[in-house]
């Protein structure tokens, strides 16, 4: 099985084993050839015992290296013991076959290579020093003249082999770490791209289904009430969606009667509460009826969960984009406009001789000042907490009315919600107008229509009721006064017309 961690170790180990067999074969062949030559000179033909002993010692070392698993060489004590035994056996063969002139000296390089590659500089240099020390002892012990230059050649070669293979190991390890880092980075990039692709697919799917009935909480609520009427009997029921400020009623049916019992059925998906259903009936639900009702509402819980998830995604995206725009306006455009205004002020202070030019500069300065104020107000709007759209609030109101109340027909065209700095007052004015119509007009239907587009808009609340006279509003009722005060605060126009055929309340805001 290939080594996935350090594949070069596997390749080097194979090369080292091949080198061992080649060095052994050369050593045995040359050793036997020299032994036979010496025997012929002495008048005999038998190979001496020293040559056979040298061949056996070298063979034991080569065979042991072949049998030893490569993975064990990464263990420090096994590697060092292997190097020690290898040097001992090879130097034994060198001692029996001529010392510094031994044909097995080539084989003595392999334990140093093994130590350097699998152990690094320290192991390689230790093996080289041990081999050189043993070689000195053998050379002196042979009894022949000690060839100092030849010894230094082999000792230098041992040292060079230890350093070279130790350095090779370090470079290969660094390259392996770099390759692993690149592979990990590539894998991370691939995973990131895969996640982005999955997210893109999901968001595309969300976009396709965002406007479907399954993701309209009012539609889901009314369908839930239709389904509940087939499961259990009740006088009235309320379906509410979980909101940041508490449950938001999205559907209502029937009217509560005296002595009725209320059964609250929570809607949840996993550990998240997504809404609730309140059933009002003459008798309290039995455990069996309660369980059956809760099970029948599971699709509603899943639909509400999807609605809340989409709202979370949209709010997060809007919040991040608003923060980015606010930073860009504050850090880039605002200072640039301020610098331009300062430059125009300096030009005006120089009293240009041309009156027309001076007037033109003053007009430019006024325009720049207005732009600076617009940027400041825009940054303030972007930094304000997110405001709901007028359409959302109107639909919530329409879902909260009872069967005895007028129907609320919302026909707004809202391209963008009102500017955050004026949105609370606009919503409060329209809400108060609707509540007045529902409570006092006697109309069968209340229509909300108009257009809304951030800085400008017109919303009309119209009913077909009995109307009213402003001079006959009962004391203690300050709804109309509050609407006028709010309109004045945001610079909007409020127009109220009322006849016996109905009342229309129109709020208009935007550029003059």
Q: State pLDDT tens for residues 235-249.
A: 788 888 887 767 778
Counting residues of the chain whose pLDDT is more than 70, the rounded percentage is 80
| Residue 2 clears pLDDT 50, i.e. is over it | no
pLDDT in tens, 377-397: 666 666 665 666 788 888 777
Element (H, E) at 497: strand 493-499
Which ranges of 143-286 does DSSP label H, i.e. alpha helix?
Answer: 148-209, 217-231
* Average pLDDT score over residue span 340-344: 71
pTM: 0.39
Buried b (16+ CB within 10 A) or exposed e, 356-386: eeeeebeebbeebeeebeebeebbebbeeee
pLDDT in tens, 136-176: 787 776 555 667 777 788 888 888 888 888 777 788 777 77
The closest alpha carbon to 107, from 12, 22, 171, 2, belongs to: 22
- CA-based angle 138:139:142, to the nearest 5? 80
Return the residue matching tokens 């040359």: 30
Distance in angstroms (rounded) separating the CA atoms of residues 93 and 335: 86
* Average pLDDT score over residue span 4-33: 77
Q: Residue 9: exposed, middle, or buried by beta-carbon count in 10 A (0-12, 13-18, 19+)?
A: buried
Confidence of residue 512 (pLDDT cuts 50, 70, 90): low
Average pLDDT along the chain: 77
């Amino acid at each position: 099985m290939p080594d996935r961690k350090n594949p070069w170790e596997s390749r080097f180990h194979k090369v080292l084993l091949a080198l061992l067999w080649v060095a052994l074969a050369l050593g045995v062949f040359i050793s036997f050839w020299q032994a036979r030559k010496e025997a012929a000179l002495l008048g005999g033909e038998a190979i001496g015992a020293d040559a056979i002993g040298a061949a056996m010692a070298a063979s034991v070392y080569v065979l042991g290296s072949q049998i030893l698993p490569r993975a064990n060489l990464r263990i420090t004590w096994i590697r060092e013991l292997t190097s020690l035994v290898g040097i001992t056996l090879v130097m034994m063969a060198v001692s029996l076959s001529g010392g510094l002139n031994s044909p097995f000296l080539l084989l003595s390089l392999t334990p140093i290579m093994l130590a350097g590659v699998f152990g690094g500089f320290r192991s390689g240099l230790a093996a080289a020093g041990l081999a050189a020390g043993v070689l000195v002892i053998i050379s002196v012990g042979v009894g022949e003249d000690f060839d100092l230059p030849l010894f230094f050649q082999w000792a230098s070669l041992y040292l060079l082999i230890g350093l070279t293979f130790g350095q090779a190991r370090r470079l290969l390890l660094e390259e392996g770490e770099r390759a692993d880092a690149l592979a990990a980075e590539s894998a991370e990039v691939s995973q990131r791209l895969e996640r982005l692709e999955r997210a893109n697919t999901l968001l595309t799917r969300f976009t396709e289904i965002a406007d479907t009935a399954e993701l309209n909480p009012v539609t889901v609520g009314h369908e839930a009430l239709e389904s509940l009427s087939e499961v259990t009997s009740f006088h009235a029921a309320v379906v509410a969606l979980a909101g940041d400020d508490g449950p938001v009623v999205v559907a209502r049916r029937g009217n509560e009667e005296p002595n009725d019992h209320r059964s609250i059925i929570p809607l949840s998906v996993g550990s998240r509460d997504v809404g609730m259903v309140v059933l009002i009936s003459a008798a309290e639900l039995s455990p069996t009826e309660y369980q059956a009702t809760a099970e029948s509402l599971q699709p509603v819980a899943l639909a509400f969960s999807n609605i809340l998830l989409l709202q979370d995604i949209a709010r997060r995206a809007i919040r991040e984009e608003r923060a980015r725009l606010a930073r860009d306006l504050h850090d880039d455009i605002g200072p640039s406009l301020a610098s331009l205004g300062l430059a125009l002020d300096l030009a005006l202070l120089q009293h240009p001789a041309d009156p027309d030019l001076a007037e033109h500069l003053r007009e430019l300065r006024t325009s720049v000042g207005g732009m600076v104020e617009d940027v400041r107000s825009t940054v303030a709007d972007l930094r304000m907490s997110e405001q709901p759209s007028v359409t959302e609030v109107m639909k919530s109101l329409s879902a909260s009315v009872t069967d005895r109340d007028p129907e609320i027909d919302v026909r707004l065209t809202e391209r963008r919600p009102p500017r955050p700095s004026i949105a609370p007052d606009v919503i409060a004015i329209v809400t108060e107008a609707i509540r007045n119509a529902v409570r006092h007009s006697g109309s069968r239907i209340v229509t909300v229509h108009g257009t809304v587009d951030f800085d400008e808009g017109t919303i009309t609340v119209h009913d077909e009721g009995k109307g009213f006279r402003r001079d006959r509003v009962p004391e203690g009722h300050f709804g109309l006064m509050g609407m006028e005060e709010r309109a004045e605060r945001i610079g909007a126009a409020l127009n109220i017309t009322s006849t016996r055929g109905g009342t229309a309340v129109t709020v208009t805001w935007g550029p003059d």
